[in-house]
Amino acid sequence: MASRRPASIWLWLGIAAAVVLLDQITKTLITRSFQLNEVRTFTPFFDLVRAHNTGAAFSFLAGASGWQRWFFIGLGAVAAVFIVWLLARHGGQRLFCWALSLILGGAIGNVVDRILHGHVVDFIQVHWGGAYFPSFNVADSAISVGAAFLILDELLRIRKAR
């Protein structure tokens, strides 16, 4: 039986680059079409809104004095280097590498925003019955899907080990 060759790191970096590109295109469209805090309702549970987040997920540290911008840029850079290292070592583990590629693309997409603007542009808003989930973007979505893939990969690995 022929062994399957591990996927090249370039495949995984290409996926991450596609996430960054999609993220930056959508953020550019929003910043050109919306004023800050402008909301356009599309369904009873979905809006587009232009929001700026100087913090992390769920606006964590958004009220800090500005140091968080550089902290999150540094954290994103360190995470990106570590993820690229993992991709190089585990290129044949497809689900694991899909997860890492999505997380890498999302992290870089948000780091680009912090470098260029000093904040992350969020624009997707979901809500139901008056309860609003914090606004997010394509990068955040990629990170979340990547995290779910990491969990699934680990569950499958545990199941296979039994």
Q: pLDDT, tens digit, for every residue of 105-137?
A: 999 999 999 999 999 999 999 999 989 999 999
Q: Count the Cβ atoms, other than its own, within 10 Å of residue 23.
A: 25
Q: pLDDT value at position 1?
A: 46
Q: pLDDT value at position 3?
A: 46
Cα-based torsion angle of the residue sequence 75, 73, 137, 63 in order, rounded to the nearest 10 degrees: 100
Assign 37 a pLDDT band (cuts: 50, 70, 90). Answer: very high
Which residue, 89, 87, 91, 92, is CA-closest to 3?
92
Could you tell me which residues come within 8 angstroms of residue 73 by beta carbon, excluding any fewer than 6 positions away? 111, 114, 115
Its pTM stands at 0.90
Assign 8 a pLDDT band (cuts: 50, 70, 90). Answer: confident
| Residues annotated as catalytic (active site), given as ranges | 122, 140
Instruction: Write down the H helix ranges in the chain.
Output: 9-33, 67-89, 94-117, 138-161
| Distance (Å, whole) CA 53 – CA 59 | 6
Q: In the block, which residue shows the tokens 């994103």?
A: 76
Q: pLDDT value at position 160?
A: 86
Across the range 2-22, mean pLDDT stands at 85
Could you tell me which residues come within 8 angstroms of residue 104 by beta carbon, excluding any fewer than 6 positions away? 12, 13, 16, 19, 79, 80, 83, 84, 87
